[in-house]
Amino acid sequence: LTIAIIQLVASKRGIAALPFWAVKPYLDRGYVVARKITEQGLHSNLYAAYRETDVESAYLDDFYETVKSQSFSTLPGLSVLE
């Protein structure tokens, strides 16, 4: 879906509000330009959705740690909200 949105923007058929990490590869190639919507930018919290029965599972803990470590090492502009 993100690629389709970027293609519409690049072909002058739309504008979009997307996370910086999703837009950065297209900025680097010069397909689109970006501007913060507010002086500080927009920020949102991400949540993991899971079944209540899985709350104590080891694989859920591993998934959470993997997402956290990979996201911060590969997606620009992320920060921990306190």
d(CA 8, CA 12): 6
- Break the chain into its structural domains and give their ranges: 1-39, 45-76
pTM of the model: 0.61
d(CA 56, CA 10): 45
> What is the per-residue pLDDT across 13-39, written as a single tens digit (0 to 9) for each?
999 999 888 899 999 999 999 998 888
> What is the per-residue pLDDT across 26-78, written as a single tens digit (0 to 9) for each?
999 999 999 988 888 777 777 888 999 988 899 999 998 898 888 888 877 77
Task: Give the angle subtended at the CA of 13 by the CAs of 11 and 18, to the nearest 5°.
Answer: 90
